[in-house]
Amino acid sequence: MFEGFETAQVDVGEASVFVRFGGEGPPVVLLHGHPRTSATWHEVAPLLVRAGHTVVCPDLRGYGRSRGPEFTADHEGYSKRAVAADVVAVMRRLGHHRFALAGHDRGGSVALRLTLDHPQSVSRVAFLDCLPLTEHLSRITTEFATQWWHWFFFAQPDIPERVITADPDSWYRGDPETMGQENYEEWRKAVRDPDVVRAMLEDYRAGLTVDRGHEEADRAAGARIACPTLVLWSLKDDLEDLHGDPRTIWSSWADDVRGHGIDSGHHVAELAPRALAQALTDFFRPDPGGPAPS
Residues designated as active site? 105, 266
Bridge partners for 262 per DSSP: 234
Give backbone dihedrals phi and psi of 149, rounded to 5 degrees, phi first. -60, -25
Using an 8 Å Cβ cutoff, are 20 and 47 in contact? no
Largest CA distance in the chain: 56
Strand boundaries in the chain, DSSP class E: 6-11, 16-23, 27-31, 54-58, 99-104, 122-128, 229-234, 257-262
Q: What is the DSSP letter of 225?
A: B
Question: Which of these, 110, 127, 80, 100, lies nearest to 257 by C-alpha position?
Answer: 127
